[in-house]
Amino acid sequence: MAVVELQKLVKDYAGFRAIHGVDLRIDDGEFCVFVGPSGCGKSTLLRMIAGLEEISDGELRIDGRRVNEERAAERGLAMVFQSYALYPHMTVRENLAFGLENIKTPKDEIRRRVDEAARMLQIGDYMERRPKQLSGGQRQRVAIGRAVVREPKVFLFDEPLSNLDAELRVVMRGEISQLHRRLGNTMIYVTHDQVEAMTMADKIVVLKLGTIQQVGSPLDLYNRPANQFVAGFIGSPRMNFFEATVAEQARGGIVATDEGGRRVEAAVSPERVEPGAPVTLGVRPEHLEIGSERGHPVTVETIEQLGGESYLYCRDSNGRPITVHKSGQTRIRAGEEAKVFLPAEAIHVFREDGSALER
């Protein structure tokens, strides 16, 4: 069992509030990802849980027990750092064993755990090498192995894949997910990469300026972003946004007019938006239809044909950029005019304060 609870957690750095009273519950066995742009406080929050950063206010509980005052080593956690933090003068085997020797674990127990971690992470072939004789991906496996041998209640990962190239990141992403399925531990993982968050998390916590914007499963966040920030952050390429004004409440939604005076229907609950209210409409690139007879005219400026999918970067008559993602290939060519249709059920509507209307 390892439930991690944050209650009104605050972090102040000499007059600067980095974390503003965060409430969060991470369930036993959950893979929870903290994601957000640079400076949003995700590393600070993880380091507070780890015991590497003092908690200014609020309470941190692990399995119901307050741990604010406990030292890092007493909390039953193990952290994997972006920088790997391996001992350069020790072999892989010594790096793996070191933490256990420090706490006087019996020798045969150390050997059992080190061999098991080596097997699990496929690092058995280079146990006698030193870190500088390993590739980045191998080093990161050793760093993860060092956490695994400690058999912690909770694993903490601070951007562990940022130093790896794109291809290796995809491989390691899969391996960490597999490790989670095998071990079943609670894992907390920090990244600024929303694709990592979407592919690995049971639960995503989106942060901005030290506050939680939304907590949910990857598809919750994709399908029902609570506000414009989350809508713009989750999903790649980013959601398209248009300024508009509510014209009328209609059957099953609202009608809004955009800057060019064009009418757009949106299938959202019309609660608490009055005609005349300024709103922002959002629609994901993959939900736009391009190339049929209906919709708004655009100029297609650039096309990326990847074979299995295509990206069309367009501009509408108001000069606004619109990105369209189409599965498969397109016959449209750069420089052509086309029509882009916004299906009513795919449109997100955000009030002036950024909050989303329910869909």
- The length of the chain in residues reads 359
Structure tokens at 318: 């108001």
Check binding of 43 to ligand ATP (CB under 6 A).
yes
| Among 4, 24, 42, 154, contact with ligand ATP (rule: CB under 6 A) | 42
Nearer residue to ligand ATP within complex by CB, 52 or 127: 52
Binding test (CB under 6 A) with ligand ATP, winner from 21, 29, 39, 295: 39
* DSSP summary character for residue 43: H
Least separation in angstroms between residue 225's CB and ligand ATP is: 19
| Residue 270 is a binding residue for ligand ATP (CB under 6 A) | no
CA angle 222, 228, 231 (to 5 degrees): 20
The HSE-up count of residue 288 (CA atoms within 13 Å, CB side) is 31
Count of CB atoms situated within 10 Å of the CB of 168: 15
Quote the CA–CA distance of 171 and 266 in Å, as a whole number.
40
276's CB contacts (< 8 A; 6+ apart) are 245, 246
160 counts as binding ligand ATP under rule CB under 6 A: no
Cβ at position 141, least distance to ligand ATP in Å: 23
Which parts of 6-35 interact with ligand ATP (CB under 6 A)? 13, 16, 18
One of 4, 26, 44, 51 touching ligand ATP (CB under 6 A): 44
* For ligand ATP, the closer CB: 26 or 96: 26
- Which three-class secondary structure state does DSSP give residue 279? strand
Q: Which of 24, 41, 86, 264 binds ligand ATP (CB under 6 A)?
A: 41
**CB-neighbour burial class of residue 144 (10 A; exposed 0-12, middle 13-18, buried 19+):** buried
Least distance from ligand ATP to the Cβ atom of residue 84, Å = 16
Site string for ligand ATP, 179-218 (x = CB under 6 A): -------------x--------------------------
- For ligand ATP (CB under 6 A), the number of binding residues is 12
Minimum distance of ligand ATP from residue 81's CB (angstroms) = 12
Long-range contacts of 220-226, Cβ-Cβ distance < 8 Å, separation of 24 or more: 222/198, 223/359, 224/356, 224/358, 224/359, 225/348, 225/356, 226/355, 226/356
Interface ranges with ligand ATP (CB under 6 A): 13, 16, 18, 36, 38-44, 192
